[in-house]
């Protein structure tokens, strides 16, 4: 959620009144997107951020658990990650493996 489609989606949903959880491996990317959302006049209370690699099952679980804990529910997931040819095949990225 720190650039490109993910960032644009997070900003658009936040501007529309959604509470958003953003994810990135680096803290800098999270701060950049959170600041961009805040610059649009959106309350920081509408934003949750989770740092870590989506190849780590505990990070995937935290994305869901922390969203529900902070906002009380989870309505929509937008899974937008650019890891093709970097992290292996789909079989190696699934939560079951």
Q: Tens digits of per-residue pLDDT, 25-37?
A: 877 778 888 888 8
Angle at 48 between CA 83 and CA 73, to 5 degrees: 100
Q: CA Rg, the chain, in Å?
A: 13
Say how far residue 90 (Cα) sits from the centre of its chain.
20
Domains belonging to the chain, first-starting first, are 4-93 (3.40.50.720)
Task: Choose among 55, 71, 62: nearest CA to 20.
Answer: 71
Long-range contacts of residues 72-75, Cβ cutoff 8 Å, at least 24 apart? 75/18
25-73 confidence digits (pLDDT tens): 877 778 888 888 888 888 888 999 888 888 888 888 989 999 999 999 9
């Amino acid at each position: 959620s720190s650039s490109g489609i993910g960032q644009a989606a997070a900003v658009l949903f936040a501007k529309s009144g959604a509470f958003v959880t953003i994810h990135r491996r680096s803290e800098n990317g999270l701060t950049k997107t959170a600041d961009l959302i805040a610059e649009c006049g959106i309350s920081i209370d509408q934003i949750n951020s989770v740092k870590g690699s989506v190849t780590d099952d505990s990070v995937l679980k935290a994305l869901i658990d922390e969203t529900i804990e902070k906002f009380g529910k989870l309505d929509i997931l937008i899974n937008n990650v650019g890891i093709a040819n970097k992290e292996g095949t789909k079989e190696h990225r699934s939560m079951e493996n």
